[in-house]
Amino acid sequence: METTTLDNKQLEKLRDMIEDIRIAMMTTVDGQGNLVSRPMAALQVDENGTVWFFTKRSSPKVDQIDNSENRVNLSFADVSDATYVSVSGTAQELDDRAKVDELWNPQAKAWFPDGKEDPDLILLKVHIDMAEYWNASDSTMVRIIQQAASVITGNPPKMGENVKVYN
């Protein structure tokens, strides 16, 4: 596994992978120390390595973030393309109406029926501190053949790149 500091090229690749997958499982820690995950739609990954989400101010995850030193994990998976991303970062709630306007999309209305002006609507921004991704560039058929060959040879298959980056 390659470990590096996040540069512009790697950030761009990470942004592309996250934006293609779009749905993350966001993990926080509840008051009893349990890990709690829920699906969240990533709205944007900006040039600074920040992932943006809409959430409700009254959501339990907001309290969980505040109680866990703002640490979260985001997991993205696209099984069909064998692309997986794990992000550790620092989350912050933000009430920024200009940013809400910028990121608003028609799908958000399902969760926020009052639209962009919903008083419970806030932003969560997660600054990427560390990310790890696995990406197989081979087709599904090639990956299946590699896995079958590894059973015969006893050597693990080479299933693509695995990179850990720090921001």
Which tens digit of pLDDT belongs to each residue from 75-86? 999 988 888 999
- Segment (H or E) for 18: helix 8-21
Residues 6+ apart with CB under 8 A from 152: none
Query: What pLDDT score was predicted for residue 143?
Result: 43
The proportion of the chain whose per-residue pLDDT surpasses 90, expressed as a percent, equals 63
Q: Are strands 44-45 and 50-56 parallel, antiparallel or unpaired?
A: antiparallel
Q: Would strands 71-78 and 50-56 be described as parallel, antiparallel, or unpaired?
A: unpaired
Amino acid identity of 73? N
Lookup: tokens for 75? 């997991």
Which pTM was predicted? 0.82
Q: Would you state the pLDDT for residue 99?
A: 98
pLDDT score of 106 more than 80? yes
CA-CA distance, 161 to 138, in Å (whole number)?
11
Which domains can be identified in the chain, with CATH numbers? 2-166 (2.30.110.10)
